Amino acid sequence: MTRTLTLTRPDDWHLHLRDGAVLRAVLPETARDFGRAIIMPNLLPPVVTGADAAAYRARIMAALPADSTFEPLMTLYLTEETDPDDVVAAHASGLVTAVKLYPAGATTNSASGVRDVNRVRGVLEAMAEAGVPLCVHGEVTDPDVDIFDREAVFIDRVLDPLRRAVPGLRVVLEHVTTADGVDYVMSAQAGLAGTITAHHLVINRNHLLVGGIRPHYYCLPVAKRESHRQALRRAATSGDARFFLGTDSAPHTDGNKETACGCAGCFTAPNALSILAHVFEEEGALDRLEGFTSRHGPAFYGLPENSDTITLTRHETALPAADKIATGDGPVTVFDPGFALHWAVAR
């Protein structure tokens, strides 16, 4: 049995850090093991301009441990008022790595998102010409569409027409949750990739709902039926370079999760790599873990791989279960995969 596994240092291509006290508390959980991360811009107010991104990046850098080499990769929040010149300039300067499309009302702090993608066609065309990737939260928000169908409908109604209209645009379909999403990414010859989270590889909608509602398994896109989870596992462990890790680690304090109308998000930053090693081992694919965590993402974004490594060690006895991270705004519960973990990053 494999006992140690050395990987090129991973990157996280979809991460929420929030701001203020929560940012300061959760950032070290990612910076400890990951070289870089795409930072989501859905703050209140959102990060919509290059100036906003520079200010947010400065707050992140100030919160890093003194010896950390972690690099935040900033994104801009696309709105129907976004200035294409500002986007292009921010990307050209190296400040901004990508732009994020949230359909209005799709998830946490997305009220300022796009209601009609045709209204941002000019921005998307400028991005395609300048080589700026678009990261997409792939769900429609039409109240007539069942929440479990929103990803598939988005692909059909929004994403595929968008990519046909702006064929040079590089797109990441983030946190893929369905076989439909997997199939769509695999149908693309170039210019399209998909991120997959750790938590969607281990939970389905039964984990969320059977035996009582479990708020710390509630995320958006919501976990789907078991057949979709199996499709995600096949995609993640396949070695296909179009799929790579985006944890979508999304901290919320317990007070905002354990309530009558709780927030969406699973906080996986502390144990994402342990969960992934468990999954890839179960699938007989530990030799493909490095591609998923460390190689495919940089290749899509046109960035170099990290130059250093981490080592995962498999322990005979189960690791202590992660519990909560204390923040100045209240505790944040760490995602529980529902099984014992034996893999850990060696310190």
Mean pLDDT taken over the chain: 96
Contact at 8 Å (CB) between 248 and 219? yes
113 has pLDDT over 90: no
> DSSP string covering 179-235, please?
HHHHHHHHH-SSSEEEEE-SGGGT--HHHHHTTS--GGG--SSPP--HHHHHHHHHH
Q: How confident is the model at residue 11 (pLDDT cuts 50, 70, 90)?
A: very high
Rounded to an integer, what distance in angstroms lies between the CA atom of residue 209 and that of residue 192?
33
20 has pLDDT over 80: yes
Rounded to an integer, what distance in angstroms lies between the CA atom of residue 195 and that of residue 292?
9
pLDDT tens-digit map of 120-168: 999 999 999 999 999 999 999 999 999 999 999 999 999 999 999 999 9
CATH topology of domain 4-345: TIM Barrel (3.20.20)
Residue with tokens 């795409």: 38
For helices 20-31 and 50-63, the axis angle rounded to 10 degrees is 70
pLDDT tens-digit map of 230-287: 999 999 999 999 999 999 999 999 999 999 999 999 999 999 999 999 999 999 999 9
Segments making up each domain of the chain, as ranges: 4-345
Nearest one of 25, 20, 9, 3 to 269, comparing CA atoms: 25
H or E segment and range at residue 13: strand 11-15
Q: Give me the mean pLDDT over the 338-344 stretch.
A: 97
Who's near 46: CB < 8 A, 6+ residues apart? 52, 77, 79, 109, 112
Active site amino acids: 248
DSSP state of 266: B
What the block records as the tokens of 102 is 């949230």
Contact at 8 Å (CB) between 244 and 289? no
221 has pLDDT over 80: yes
Q: How confident is the model at residue 1 (pLDDT cuts 50, 70, 90)?
A: low
Q: What share of the chain has pLDDT > 90, as a percent?
A: 95
Q: What share of the chain has pLDDT > 70, as a percent?
A: 99
What the block records as the tokens of 43 is 């703050």
